[in-house]
Amino acid sequence: FDFAQVTSHLHTLLGLFGHQLHPDILTPPHTPTAIVMNKVNHDGIIALEQPFVKVPFEQLKKTFRTSQKYYEKELAHLGSSLGDLVAKTNADKVTPEEASKSIEAMLADVKAEETLFTTRSKIRLDHLNELTTITTVDSPEFKRWNRVRLDRVLVDYLLRRGFTETAGKVATEAGIEQMVDVELFAQASRVEEALQRHSCSECLQWCSDNKSNLRKMKSTLEFNLRLQEYIELVRARRMTEAIAYVRKHLTSWAETHLREIQQAMGLMAFPPETQCAPYKKLYDSNRWHTLILQFRTDNFALCSLPSQPLLSITLQAGLSALKTPQCLHPEQRNIHCPVCAADTLGVLAEKLPLSHHVNSTIVCRISGAIMNWDNPPMALENGQVYSFNVSLAMERGIDHSNPPHYHASFYSFK
């Protein structure tokens, strides 16, 4: 398919969120209503940009909590074992200067993280603040701003699909490194890759780092990871280790997951090749894929990210706003309608609802232009409706019956 055409359609669909839509599409462009149509819909755009601002804020909060937890732990340890620390320092010959440098290095790392997320938040807020100075969607400033927005949306989509390296290169070339969260998705990708290798260690460490927030969300991810590690021990018929693992890691979950634990204990009586439905399900290797999906869902929730890529959300809303009953009939397609492009975006629009139009918009299927007061529809004796400009051209002998860009000889209502 034509990549340039698809990119053009993406600009069109993203631009729909920048318009202040008005039902009277037939209003001449010089009227006040048309001016309203060209106004930037700031509220509509900002509504989709909440994760854009909240992600670095949530990361900054996480850094603060981690640092605070570390400091409290170290201070408590220092206060309770100061004598041992002095003795150990003398025994290991650790000088006060070396200890001071170690602490300063740790503080520098924390400060660097805080500076990174603070700077990133400021850059993103400044980017959104630019929108408040833009009044019309036809202005060069809005086109430039919307281009940056499209780059952000595409990078977000690539990151969610696992193309981390490609996303990083696109972000670098577009100069939007501080506007995307490559590191966040790279970390998530490492956890998911470990789960694909049937290893829970990385994901359990992630659960430990986010323990308080996961508890507030009432997440069951950590329990399911512990249960899976127990299942793998039973699968390997390492029964003694499995029993010890249950006592150490699963008994604390008995209050909320007693039934699952009881069923899991019965798993030791069945071999991995069992056909008994409840235990066959526990041995099923698809549980690893379920863990990946649960981690992804919890990670997005912790970072205030939507479950779907912003590209999908924007495309679905934009395509639904353009979709009409005529789009479903190949012989009535419009050359400028992305929904009518059956080989590209039309596939995404198949299951979307139709748009709600108070007034119909009459579109010329030969020229693709909207018929309005400046280009009114003309009904001829052959029963067909033509726009004034095309009718005038036909009267002058210009053939519009079989244009090179679209094979049609009549118009449709859209």
pLDDT band (50, 70, 90) for residue 404: very low
Q: Given this model, what pLDDT does residue 10 score?
A: 58
Asked whether residue 374 is assigned to any structural domain, the reply reads yes
pLDDT band (50, 70, 90) for residue 250: very high
Tens digits of residue pLDDT in 144-176: 988 998 899 999 999 999 898 899 999 999 999
Instruction: State the chain's mean pLDDT as an integer.
Output: 78
Q: Are residues 161 and 199 in the same domain?
A: no
For residue 411, pLDDT over 60 is answered with no
For residue 335, pLDDT over 60 is answered with yes
Tens digits of residue pLDDT in 384-403: 787 888 878 777 765 544 44
Asked whether residue 172 is assigned to any structural domain, the reply reads yes
Residues 6+ apart with CB under 8 A from 300: 306, 307
How many domains are contained in the chain?
3
Asked whether residue 25 is assigned to any structural domain, the reply reads no
What is the arithmetic mean of pLDDT over 191-205? 96
pLDDT band (50, 70, 90) for residue 1: very low
Q: Are residues 48 and 95 in the same domain?
A: yes
Burial 126-137 (b: 16+ CB within 10 A, else e): ebbeebeebeeb
Q: Are residues 174 and 201 in the same domain?
A: no
**Cβ-based neighbour number of residue 281 at 10 Å:** 11
pLDDT band (50, 70, 90) for residue 370: confident
Asked whether residue 37 is assigned to any structural domain, the reply reads no
Residue 370 forms beta bridges with which residues?
A: 363
Q: Are residues 122 and 198 in the same domain?
A: no
Domain boundary among 146, 180, 214: 180
Asked whether residue 320 is assigned to any structural domain, the reply reads no
Q: Given this model, what pLDDT does residue 77 score?
A: 56
Q: Quick one: what percent of the chain has pLDDT higher than 70?
A: 74
**Closest listed residue to residue 390, CA positions, set 378, 381, 382:** 378
Q: Are residues 196 and 100 in the same domain?
A: no
What is the arithmetic mean of pLDDT over 37-52? 71
Q: Are residues 48 and 149 in the same domain?
A: yes
Q: Are residues 100 and 213 in the same domain?
A: no
Asked whether residue 274 is assigned to any structural domain, the reply reads yes
Residue that wins the pLDDT comparison between 128 and 97: 128
pTM: 0.69
Q: Are residues 50 and 172 in the same domain?
A: yes
The Cα–Cα gap between 289 and 192 comes to 9
Domain boundary among 302, 323, 348: 302
Q: Are residues 52 and 148 in the same domain?
A: yes
Q: Given this model, what pLDDT does residue 369 score?
A: 79
For residue 33, pLDDT over 50 is answered with no
Q: Are residues 170 and 192 in the same domain?
A: no
For residue 354, pLDDT over 70 is answered with yes
Residue 412 forms beta bridges with which residues?
A: 363
Asked whether residue 204 is assigned to any structural domain, the reply reads yes
Q: Are residues 141 and 199 in the same domain?
A: no
Lowest-pLDDT range of 90-94, 214-218, 363-367:
90-94
Q: Are residues 173 and 209 in the same domain?
A: no
Domain that holds residue 139: 42-180
Domain boundary among 279, 302, 325: 302
Asked whether residue 276 is assigned to any structural domain, the reply reads yes
